[in-house]
Structure 1
Amino acid sequence: MGGVDAGFAAGAVRPGGGVADREPGVAAGRPDAGAAVTNVRAERLAAVNDHLVEQTPVQMRRGLLETLVVPTGKKVSPLEWMRTAVALVSGAGKREALNVCHERGEEFDVGRAS
């Protein structure tokens, strides 16, 4: 297949064993509309990110970045820990939840709790 290697990244093996020599959608050095849209989106995302960084205090940015670091002895970062739903609640956790409900004046049917 000569000419355009539509749908194949440069260096990808085409069906039949040939190797693509151009990026997907690039013909004669001109990107297709999809590549143009991707570039515009990337530029706009970079502009939004730059604006947000400028508006965010340095200490807050540092704190947010720290949530990405996995602490020694742990398996997940604090951010991942916060994003993950609790699968099992310990007896102490259930007791704490019941105490909070009691303090709020909320009724809780203990007979149906599991």
Structure 2
Amino acid sequence: MTDPSPIPTVRRGRIFPDIQWSEEKKAQWKAEQEGFIQRCKVIFDRVQPELIKSHHNWYVAVEPESGDYFTDTDELGTINKSRQHHPNTPVFIFRINETGIAGTI
């Protein structure tokens, strides 16, 4: 009788354990993200009053560099529309309602 082949052990944890961010780099990344969100929010606040009348509870993807925004009934649709015009540019998703929040925690 032969011994069954051993089951390979799955590695857990980080693939590259030597890559770690310093506290300064984490703070810088967080500040960049907050800045991005604030630039998107300015555009959303500008277009929200007109969109809420005709597209209530739809989603809007905002691209802050060009000021473009794209609406659709679902999040994936808004992302796909934004990717057609700006393929490699990040966007922020808002819900077209009174708060602009797309989901709950």
TM-score by length of 1: 0.27
Larger proportion of strand: 2
Larger Rg: 1
TM-score by length of 2: 0.29
Larger proportion of helix: 1
